Amino acid sequence: MQKSVPKKLAYTCLEELSKLKAHTKQSDKIWRTLCKEVEIPPIPPAVRCSKLEYLELWGSLAMGKGDVANDIKVLNNALFYEHQAIWAYNFAAGKLSKDKVGQAVLAIALANQADHKQHRDTLTAVVRQLGGSPVGPKKDYLETVKPYLANGEGNLDSDVNIAKLALALEVDAAIAYGMEVAKLKTPALVTAGASIGSVEASHATVIRYAFKTLGVDIPVVPAAFVSQATRSNWILKV
């Protein structure tokens, strides 16, 4: 955090904001006042919240250090999984064949990985802004992937099995985000986390769609929910 928001000012802002129903000229005025008083970092591009929501975030940060520590921990958990996903797609890319299926899986892998890199950059920036230390990438995450291989939820021995492994990891990412955002104390961060979680579900859907186009007769969206209860519907066993 560059400079903490004075408590009294934060309370005043939140009190004013609580009277406002939407983003109005008045909330803009409060925004400008607060920006003049303290150095609020710019809203990270991938955190798609309004100035009003961002102001609420900073107000709540000023009011509860415990909440900030909690949110840093949750965001760092998410960041760990983003590093894992980026590593997994790099690792898998080197094992894919040059034939049509291998190249189709590679195209999806690179597109999904590009989103994970954006998630990583945003989470890193937000953890820093909250005054925390973002977790860095490990050299490899092989140990975290082994349980998937042991359970037959993908493998590294063929293009199809690599795609199944990516699918299982993406489904678990979507489920994990749903559970993790519930632990966040800051509404603007909950919104940002939920938007990442929905992209994880999209990644899983794209992989399932690829199987469908390759002639595997499966529903692209196999359940109305992405959760532990429906996990087995979403993944494809080896």
Q: Which residues bind Fe ion (CB under 5 A)?
A: 112, 170, 200, 203
Residue 106 CB coordination number (10 Å): 18
Nearest-5° Cα angle at 199, 195 to 201: 115
Distance CA(5)–CA(139), nearest Å, equals: 37
Residue nearest to Fe ion (CB): 203
CB 83 to Fe ion: min, Å? 12
Q: Which is nearer to Fe ion, 170 or 180 (CB)?
A: 170
CB 49 to Fe ion: min, Å? 21
The residue count for the chain? 238
CA-based nearest residue to 169, from 93, 89, 230, 225:
89
Q: Could you tell me the CA-to-CA distances from 48 to 26, 51, 80, 84, 171 in Å, in that order?
A: 21, 10, 22, 24, 23
Q: Which is nearer to Fe ion, 125 or 206 (CB)?
A: 206
Q: Which is nearer to Fe ion, 120 or 203 (CB)?
A: 203
CB 29 to Fe ion: min, Å? 40
CB 167 to Fe ion: min, Å? 10
Q: Which is nearer to Fe ion, 203 or 208 (CB)?
A: 203
Q: Which is nearer to Fe ion, 76 or 202 (CB)?
A: 202
Torsion angle in degrees (nearest 10) through CA of 107, 111, 116, 121 = 130
Torsion over CA: 9, 14, 15, 20 (sign): positive
CB 86 to Fe ion: min, Å? 10
